[in-house]
Amino acid sequence: MPKILRNAEGTIKDAGKRLLTRKNEGQFTITELSEKSRISRRTFYLRFGSKGALVKDVVLEDWAKDKEKLKKATVSGSSPQERASLLYTRLRDFGDRYSSSFPDIFAGGGLLRTSEDIAGELSDISGLSRFVVEVILTFVPLPEVTYEQIEPQLRKLLSEDREDRGTVLPSWQKTKEPSLCLL
């Protein structure tokens, strides 16, 4: 008699998330996923249709949870500097979770839409200007840059309270400290 699984979709997503945080999408198979989740390959294909559909579903669901956590954390009346730090930390954590699968997760045209869409959405959630969010998004994917390195520049931007300054490009001075090149 076949096994009846009450939450097959959730079980598959959990196994998929565990695999995605350790391997990239191309490094695991549906057979491996089926073994980890204890479901048949047929059940997988009935629920998701393809590995790409599962991956997108898992990452977007996790992204939605992280945005909700960020929204709750920024409601508490924290300062703009605290919100910028929190946003940077949450984005870095999310990127680190899926960096093996999607090194360009926040890049334009990446899995999470375009960076402009993300910037607008995160600006609304965090209460920070869109420009400040774009600056943060510029530095998050760069593993060699810490928040402490960009914090003085963000503090200056936040104190100036400017909405738009053009295109943001990361640059390094002779001291190897990150700085902003605004076009």
| pLDDT score for 180 | 47
Q: Strands 178-182 and 168-172: what pairing?
A: antiparallel
Taking 70 as the pLDDT cut, the residues of the chain under it are 1-5, 25, 76-77, 99-116, 160-183
**CATH architecture, domain 1-49:** Orthogonal Bundle (1.10)
| pLDDT score for 1 | 38
Domain boundaries, the chain: 1-49, 58-182
Query: 0.85 exceeded by the pTM?
Result: no
Q: What CA–CA distance (Å, rounded) separates 22 from 145?
A: 23
111-132 pLDDT, tens digit each: 555 555 778 888 888 888 888 8
| pLDDT score for 112 | 57
| pLDDT score for 116 | 58
